[in-house]
Structures are given as C-alpha cells and as structure tokens.
A = this chain, B = another copy of it.
Amino acid sequence: MSVNITKLKNGLTVVTDSMPHLESAALGVWIKSGSRNETQDQHGIAHLLEHMAFKGTKNRTALQIAEEIENVGGELNAATSIETTAYYARVLKPEVGHAADILYDILANSTFDENELTREKHVILQEIGASLDSPDDLVFDNFQSAAFTGSQPIGRPILGTPDTVEGFSTNQIREYLDAHYHGPNMVLSAAGAVDHDALVKQAEGTYSNFANTITQDASPATYTGGEAILEDDFQEAQVVLGFEGRAYHVKDFYASQLLATILGGGMSSRLFQEVREKHGLCYSISSFHWGFSDSGVFGIHAATGPEDLQELISLILKELQRSSEDIIQEELDRARAQIRSGLLMSMESPAARAGQIARQILLFGRPIPNDELMERLDALSVERVRDLAGRIFHESTPTLAAIGPVKDIPRLSDIKQSLGIKQSLAAE
C-alpha cells in the first residue's frame, strides 16, 4: 500500500493513497458523526446539514459551488449514514487542490441562508416521499427501527420525518455542526492521482481551522429486536429477518462477515441456492452483517409474492438452523476468496479506496492493510463460524420487518419458537 498519513495540529487526519497510473482522483471529508449522534430533538438534522452545506458560503453562492466543480468536469456529492457523514468529489488530476478547497469551504464557511433552508426542507420532503414509495428501501428503515426500539437514534430513519425536518432553524443546524465537525473527528482522504505533500500543505492552511475538540460519543445502542409488519397494496412482500450482530471491535466481527457471505453472499450461497435455485421463490435474496461501533445487526433480505411467503420464511429458518451444524471448509474457503477479491478490486477504484481508508481511520484509528484483514479471516475455523451461527440465530430476539401483502406472514413468536428461542426474550 502506498498510503500516507499526516495528522494536523487540530487532530484532523489527512490520508492519501497515490495511484500514479491514474488521471483522476477521488477525495472527500469523512466525519465520525451521523444520524445516531443526533439528540432526541435533532432527528434528521445530520442529513439536513449535509444538504445545506451546498447552499452557499461566505465565498461562494450555491450556483458557484456547482459551477466551479462542473466547469472542470468534476462531481460533488455527499451522504449521511448512521455513524458517519461524507462529502466527496471526483475530479481529474489538476483539480484535486481546487476540489479540496471547495470541500473545505462548504464545511467551514456555509452561511445557512433562511430562504435556502425553506426551499431545502421542501426538497427533503420529496426525498422522504420517494423513500416511502420504495418498499425495498422502507423495509430496511423499519427493520432498523424494530431492531433498536425505544426511539434510540440508531434506530431512526436518517432522513427524519416531515415534522422534524420542518421544525429546524438555521441556528440548530449551526449548533449541530459546531458540536460535531471537529478536527479529531474528521478525515480528509484522497486516492488516485494525488500528491500527499501538496494536499497536506494545503490542509495546514485551511483544514487546520476546525476546532481541536473531542466530540461527545453517541449514546450507547441497545439491540432489542422486535416486529414491524406493514400491510400494503404491493405485488411483492418485502421481508427482512434479522438478529443481533457484532460491533466492529468485537472478536466475532470477522466471523460474522464470513457467515453473511456463506449464507447469502452470491449465487453459490446457501440461501440463493435453496430459495431461488431449488424453489424459485425469489428474484433476489441476500444476507448482510452491519457492524456499528458498539452493536451490529445480521439480516436476510428477500421479496416474494404472498402465496410463497410462508414457504420463504420456513426455508430461511431451516437454513439458519443448518448453518450452525453443517457449514463445511469449502464454503469457508469460498467466502474468503470472495472477500479477498472484493478487497483487491476495490483497491483499483479511487472512490472505493478513499472511502475505505477514511472509514478505517475513523473507526479503528488507522487504515487496515488487506493482508491483515485476510489474516484475521484465515484464522477462523469452520467450528468457529458454526458456533457463531448457533449464537447469533438462537440467543437474541429476532427482528422481523415486512411490507406489502404480508397478512399471512409468520409472526415473531412463531419464528422464535421455530428457532428454539426462549419466549421470555421478547421485546415487543
């Protein structure tokens, strides 16, 4: 790896991965702050701030921001997730410094104009409306809420609700920014046709202005499990069935990633073979493991017609049961090969690289070399993965989210019974 890291005096990390054969670069600022860092009365403000950052600064109007980057063929975008927020650009080599300057400007000097806020709230209402019209997105929002009940910020939809979004003032946006966009909490990451020393020099003149303040951690998350069943007039039933997963730092994190790949990580995975190939019940079925800093969720997503819903759930449960008993070495080896190629291929994409390194620095304090990741995966045995499956699928209250023609879906209590989970582990 050709990764270079410099920490500025204010705690902000500048990291580059130079890929000298490229003509373009990806760069961005990643902030360790997302929807779960909001307080109860800030629901949706992390995402609203991410939108408002493009609405004009002391130095540039919103139109100037857009034109400056697009005049040179670049692209600017941003994304808010549960634990991080990212602002990033794709540009050709000569424009890296220019893009870094624009990114700094929108994060440090935004003016948050009142009229812009009024219009942008309306834009976000349309974004919320579109997410409500997408059952395959909405089922994941509902899944997350049911996995982390009790109005925990980690369980709330990132976009907020029409009511919360409507209520925010420019002062509240500024307060959220001032409380979270701190040097030690931020990484300026660039990959591709980039020069580390030049970027550091530039960042010392500007990015060093972010406050050198330690940010308060989000309140701890408590996985509860639970049920979110929404009958609606769609063709397909969207289903996400899940369990408590593992935090990034936990020993079982890597085994959980392997287990997700073995169960639903490709065409040869157990769920794809059993549910789609042998029974033809779904167009797509997959499993996932999402780690957070202090918790995680493990889930299976599938969609099917109402007549096949019972059989779908029953086949999934059978596969979960089996996985603690008969995962074999060949499957483990295949999952490792899939993860290894995924890592190598993402090394070849500047956008994937810049994001991966930035998130590793925010979450682990340093970039994790691929070799180290692979060593951790190689150290895991079949017994260890089977054992983990036994614990994940049998020791926590499941989470069941479903949308569509789901009148006849088995309920959480049936699923618990089928998996032999004690009914007293209820959280509904």
Residues of A at the B interface (CB closer than 8 Å) are: 21-24, 54, 62-63, 65-67, 69-76, 90-92, 118-130, 132-136, 233-236, 266-268, 272-273, 276-283, 303-305, 330, 333-334, 337-342, 344-345, 347-350, 404
Partner of A267, one of B66, B234, B349: B66
A281 near B126 with CB under 8 A, answer yes
A340 to chain B, nearest CB (A): 6
Count copies of this chain in the complex: 2
In the complex, chain B residues whose CB is within 8 Å of the CB of A233: 233
A sample of 17 more A-B contacts (CB under 8 A), given A133-B235, A134-B136, is A23-B347, A63-B268, A63-B273, A70-B268, A70-B338, A71-B330, A72-B337, A73-B337, A73-B342, A74-B341, A76-B267, A126-B282, A126-B303, A126-B304, A129-B235, A130-B236, A133-B135
A71 to B135, CA, bound (A): 33
Nearest B-chain residue to A404, judged by Cβ: B133
Contact of A348 among B54, B334, B350 (CB under 8 A): B350
**Complex-state Cα separation, A22 to B345, whole angstroms:** 9
Task: Please name the residue on chain B nearest to A405 by beta carbon.
Answer: B129
The reply to whether B334 and A71 form a contact with Cβ atoms under 8 Å apart is yes
Contacts of A304 in B (CB 8 A): 126
**How far is B302's CA from A332's CA once the two chains are assembled, in angstroms?**
45
* Distance to closest chain B CB from A72 (angstroms): 6
Residue of B nearest to A93 (CB): B344
**Distance (whole angstroms) from the CB of A267 to the closest CB of chain B:** 4
Q: Are B73 and A341 in contact (CB under 8 A)?
A: yes
Q: Is the CB of A236 within 8 A of B70?
A: no
Bound CA–CA A344/B75 (angstroms)? 13
Closest Cβ neighbor of A273 among chain B residues: B63
List residues of chain B with CB within 8 A of the CB of A121: 280
Bound state CA distance, A348 and B76, in angstroms? 19
- With A133-B236, A341-B74, A344-B23 given, is the CB distance from A63 to B127 under 8 Å? no
Q: Which residues of B contact A234 (CB under 8 A)?
A: 133
When distances are taken between beta carbons in the complex, the residues of chain B under 8 Å from A281 are: 122-123, 126
Q: Closest chain B residue to A276 by CB distance? A: B123
Residues on B with beta carbons closer than 8 Å to the beta carbon of A66:
266-268, 272-273
Report how far A283 CA is from B121 CA in the complex, Å.
Answer: 10
Whether A123 pairs with B334 at a CB distance below 8 angstroms is: no
Distance in angstroms between the alpha carbons of A55 and B288 in the assembled complex? 25
Is the CB–CB distance between A334 and B70 below 8 Å?
yes
Q: Are B268 and A125 in contact (CB under 8 A)?
A: no
8 Å CB contact of A90 from B267, B305, B345: B345
In the complex, what residue of chain B is closest to A91 when comparing beta carbons? B341
Roughly how many angstroms separate A268 CA and B283 CA in the complex, as a whole number? 38
